[in-house]
Amino acid sequence: MSTVKSDYHIEGMSCRHCIDAVEGELKQIDGLIVEEVGIGRARVRYDASAVSPEDIEAAIEEAGYSVRSTEQIA
């Protein structure tokens, strides 16, 4: 199992509702652990054999926001 830790920089978030919406969508992904969600960002850890960056971006978009950039953390 290969675990990846990434920061997602998100556009359009401005309040607690935004944080809750993104966090709720991310928590629905099996194999992904939400470490932190704040205004404009999310930090996650995931099993790369079960989850792709595209899956994570799709969940963020489903919540109504767009990913500006992604940064993998060593």
- Domain membership flag for residue 71: no
More confident: 47 or 74: 47
The number of folded domains in the chain is 1
Domain assignment present for 30 = yes
pLDDT of residue 1: 67
pLDDT at 2: 87
- Tell me the torsion sign for CA atoms 10, 16, 17, 23: positive
| 70, part of any domain | no
Would 73 be classed as within a structural domain?
no
In-domain check, residue 72: no
In this prediction, residues 57-70 reach a mean pLDDT of 97
42: how many CB neighbours lie within 10 A of its CB?
A: 27
Angle, to 10 degrees, between the axis of helix 53-62 and the axis of helix 16-26?
140
Distance CA 71, CA 74 (A): 10
Report pLDDT digits (tens) over 3-50. Answer: 999 999 999 999 999 999 999 999 999 999 999 999 999 999 999 999
